[in-house]
Amino acid sequence: MSIRNWAATAAAVAALAAGCSKPAANNETTRATTTIQTTTVAAADCAPAGKVNYLCGPANAEDLVLAPDTSWMVVSGMSGPQGGAGKLYLIDAAKKSWKTVAPVMGGAAKAPYDKCTAPDIAKFAAHGLALQPGSGGHHTLFAINHGGRESIEVFDLDATAAEPTLTWIGCLNAPEGASLNSVAPAPNGGLVASKFNALGDAKAFAKMAAGEKTGLVYHWTPAAGFKVVPGTQMSGANGVAVSADGKWLFANAWPEKKINRFPLAGGKAETISVDFLPDNLRWAPDGMLLVAGQVSDMKNLQSCGKPRCPHAWTVLKIDPATMKTTPVLHEEGTEAFSDATGALQVGDDIWVGTFRGDRLAYASVK
């Protein structure tokens, strides 16, 4: 999502209202235990609301990916008023249970992600996630990290046991001066990542509100590293996705309320406008794209300093061939759940995350 650092955002909110690493030893492997979490949310506060159900406990569950051929989701917990930075959650979509998980750290980085040392896991601050399916129950998880360094941390997701485990296998340091938001795999071992704004720019949100192009999309390959995809300059580049054939790049211009489709090689965009702030993108089982976002505008969204704010939220499906949209969910925001950031289909349920709150939402689409 766009709001990755609440302390930094406060200054931007004020401006809008006024008018406008410590590496781990390579010879030492540390395995942190995975523990079952019990939510502190009262049962009455976690009751369903109409067709929407909740899984309560995970704080600021911003982005979601599914381990193939399992019911396990990996979810990022952002910094925010509901909890500290750095959390990664395992959520069993079948059992409706959740756990925090700490990756196995300290091993040597593996090519092509071996140009950096292991991060200080105490500073790790998760944001956008992506999963590259592998073989034999092993997959590659990419996680945007804002803690200690600006990077894309890379993990082996081992889904061969009853519960998945994560092992750090390397990283990609972000391009200089870039604050990253979302990441997605691309063909031939590559990936794409969105630059939301310049790193440390206290006026970033004021610039976005004024329509300035603060972001763009990078294409990374093992051979060439990070290169800007020509033509992708936009305001607040957010969710990204790449078509299976590698032809198309999809990228959300969050403050502009636009969803773009570019040739991955660069070029003119085909753009659709929506009536919400489009956040993360995720492929659905039927080959459509799911996009979730907040039915609000930047000033109203940013001016809320509470743990929860009642902004309406929307989930759409996008046909990647025609860019036509189909409504999936639209809910009025409540004190219980608001500010949706991402949607993921698991079986007949659509799971929805948020950058601000103590729960995930899910609803059947049967």
pLDDT digits (tens, 9 = 90+) for 195-247: 999 999 999 999 998 899 999 999 999 999 999 999 999 999 999 999 999 99
Burial of 46 (0-12, 13-18, 19+ CB in 10 A): middle
- What is the C-alpha to C-alpha distance for residues 337 and 354, in angstroms, rounded to an integer? 8
Is the pLDDT assigned to residue 309 strictly greater than 80? no
Q: Which two tokens stand for residue 175?
A: 């391009």
Backbone phi, then psi, for 7, in 5-degree steps?
-65, -45
Q: How close are the terminal C-alpha atoms of the chain, in Å?
A: 28
Please state, as a whole number, how many other Cβ atoms lie within 10 Å of the Cβ of residue 343.
30
Please state, as a whole number, how many other Cβ atoms lie within 10 Å of the Cβ of residue 84.
13
Confidence of residue 107 (pLDDT cuts 50, 70, 90): confident
pLDDT at 73: 98
| pTM of the predicted model as reported, rounded to 2 decimal places | 0.89
Confidence of residue 9 (pLDDT cuts 50, 70, 90): very low
Helix H or strand E encompassing 12? helix 6-17
Q: Which two tokens stand for residue 191?
A: 């990936």
For the chain, the farthest-separated pair of C-alpha atoms sits apart, in whole angstroms, at 56
Confidence of residue 303 (pLDDT cuts 50, 70, 90): confident
Is the pLDDT assigned to residue 282 strictly greater than 50? yes
pLDDT at 85: 62
Specify whether the CB–CB gap between 9 and 17 falls below 8 A.
no
Opening angle at CA 113, ends 156 and 290, nearest 5: 60
Domains, in order of start, for the chain:
6-21+29-364 (2.120.10.30)
Per-residue pLDDT tens over the stretch 18-53: 333 333 333 333 333 333 333 445 555 899 999 999
